[in-house]
Structure 1
Amino acid sequence: MFERFTADARAVVVTAQTDARSMHHEHIGTEHVLLALLADPDGAVARSTGLDAETVRADILERIGGHTQDGPVLSEADAEDAAALKAIGIDLAAVREAIEANFGAGALKLPRPAKKKGLFGKFSASSGHIPFTNRNKKVLELSLREAIRLKQKFIAPEHIMLGLLREGKGLAALIMADRGIDFDRLKADMERSVSLEDQPR
C-alpha cells in the first residue's frame, strides 16, 4: 500500500511519527496524523478546515497530556490531581523540579517494560519505532479505499483526510467536531482538491 503514497502523503506519516515523539507519546494516533496534515499551512487540509497545527497540538496536549519544549503538559485529570494536592500545600511542579535537580531529568519516569520477542526479534527503543494505533492503521487502509473509490492510483494527503473522516471515531474526529468542522463540506473539499491534481505530489 505504501508504494501508492505520494511524497506529500509519506511526509504526513513521517511528520505524525515526529509529532508523537516530540510529545512523548508511545503511539501514533489519528490526532498525530491530523496534526501532520496541518503542518503545511497552505495545504488543502489547513485551507479547508481553517485549523492550524498549533491549535490542534494544544488540543491534543490538553486531552491526553504530553510534553512541549517547555516541559510536561498535564492532562485534564492530572491537572485536577495537581490542583487537589496544591490545595493541601503540595506543589507538584516544585516537587518534580526538586527530584529532577537531585536525581536528574526524567528521574520520575518509570522504565518501559521489556517487549516480548516477536517475528522480528526484540523491540529496541533506540530504533525510534512508535507504533500506529489500530484505529490509525484503519485510517490508512481507508485512505487506500478512498483512492480506489475515486479511481486514483495514488494516495495523497487528501485521501488520508478522507480516511480520517470515514473512520470518524478517533481523537482527530473529536477535535475537528469540537472545533465546528463540517465533515460533509470537508469531504467534498478533499474530493475536489484531489481530483484537480494532474500528478501526485
Structure 2
Amino acid sequence: MFERFTAEARTVVTRAQQEARRLHHDHIGTEHTLLALLADPAGPVARATGLDADAVRAEVLERIGGHNQDGPVLSDADAEDAAALKAIGIDLAAVRAAIEANFGEGALQMPRRPVKKRGFLGLFPATGGHIPFTNRNKKVLELSLREAIRLKQKFIAPEHIMLGLLREGNGLAMLIMHERGVDFDRVRDEMERSVRATAA
C-alpha cells in the first residue's frame, strides 16, 4: 500500500508522527493526521475545511493534554469519552492529578514493551523512538487506499488521506471538525476535485 503514497502523502504521515512527538503524546491518532494535513495553510485540506492548524492543536491539547503535562494521553475513543465527561463537569486532568498524588507519579501508566526503532512499517524515518498509530488511524490510512481505488487512481495523495478520515467517520479529528462546523460533504467534493485535477 505505501508504495502508492506520493511524496506529499508520505510527508503527511511523517508530520503526524512529528505532531504526536511535539505534543508529547504516546500514540499517533486521527487528530495528529488532521494536524499534518493542515500544516500547509494554502493546501487543499486547510482551504476546504477552513481550519487553522494552531487552533486545532490548541483544541487537541485542551481535550486530551499532553503526556508531560497531564499524565497519560487518551486514545481517539477515550478522547471522546473525556470530552463527554468534561461536558458534565468531570475534569479528567484533576482526577489523574488526585490519583497520582495518592499513588505516585505515573500510577496510571501501563508499562511499555520495548520496540525496535524504525519508521512506520519501515518506510518513514524514526526520530526519537517509535510512536504507534492508533487502530482508528491505521484504518484511516487503509481507507485512503480504498478511496484511491474508488476514484480509479494508482497513487495516494494527501486528499485521499483526508477522504479516508472522512470515510472512517470517528475519532477526535472528526469530533473537532464537527464542532467547528466543517461541511463534510463539501470537503469530500473538494478533495475529489483536487485529486482529480492532480491526476489530469
TM-score (normalised: structure 1):
0.75
What secondary structure, in the 3-state scheme, does the structure 1 residue paired with 2:69 have? strand
Structure number with the higher helix fraction is: 2
The structural deviation recorded for 1:124 is 4.9
Aligned partner of 2:155 in structure 1 is 154
* Matched positions, count: 170
Aligned partner of 1:123 in structure 2 is 115
| Aligned-residue RMSD, C-alpha | 2.8
Higher gyration radius (CA): 1
Instruction: Give CA deviations for 1:71-106 in whole Å, capped at 9, x if unaligned.
Output: 7368852455599x8xxxxxxxxx9xxxxxxxxxxx
The structural deviation recorded for 1:22 is 1.2
Equivalent residue in structure 2 for 1:113, among 111, 114, 121? 111
Structure 2: runs of 5 or more not aligned: 72-81, 118-126
Instruction: Give CA deviations for 1:23-45 in whole Å, capped at 9, x if unaligned.
Output: 11111000100000000001000
Contact kept in structure 1, 2:70 and 2:96, CA below 8 Å? no
Shift of the 136–109 alpha-carbon distance from structure 1 to 2, 3 Å rule, reads same
Shift of the 124–174 alpha-carbon distance from structure 1 to 2, 3 Å rule, reads same
Aligned partner of 1:13 in structure 2 is 13
Aligned partner of 2:78 in structure 1 is none
The structural deviation recorded for 1:178 is 0.4
Structure 1: runs of 5 or more not aligned: 86-94, 96-106, 116-121
| Separation of aligned partners in 1, 2:4 and 2:112 | 35
Aligned partner of 2:143 in structure 1 is 142
Paired letter, 1:131: P
| Separation of aligned partners in 1, 2:112 and 2:31 | 26
The structural deviation recorded for 1:198 is 4.0
Shift of the 169–82 alpha-carbon distance from structure 1 to 2, 3 Å rule, reads closer
Contact kept in structure 1, 2:148 and 2:160, CA below 8 Å? yes
| Separation of aligned partners in 2, 1:147 and 1:138 | 14
| Separation of aligned partners in 2, 1:54 and 1:37 | 12
Shift of the 174–152 alpha-carbon distance from structure 1 to 2, 3 Å rule, reads same
| Separation of aligned partners in 2, 1:191 and 1:181 | 16
Contact kept in structure 2, 1:61 and 1:73, CA below 8 Å? no
Shift of the 197–131 alpha-carbon distance from structure 1 to 2, 3 Å rule, reads same
Aligned partner of 2:177 in structure 1 is 176
The structural deviation recorded for 1:114 is 4.4
Aligned partner of 1:72 in structure 2 is 69
Q: Which aligned pairs between 1:47-86 and structure 2 lie closer than 5 A?
A: 47-66=47-66, 72=69, 77-81=91-95
- Name which of structure 1's ranges 122-131 and 23-32 shifts more when overlaid on structure 2: 122-131
The structural deviation recorded for 1:170 is 1.1
The structural deviation recorded for 1:109 is 4.8
Aligned partner of 2:22 in structure 1 is 22
Identity rate, percent: 66
TM-score (normalised: structure 2):
0.75
The structural deviation recorded for 1:142 is 0.3
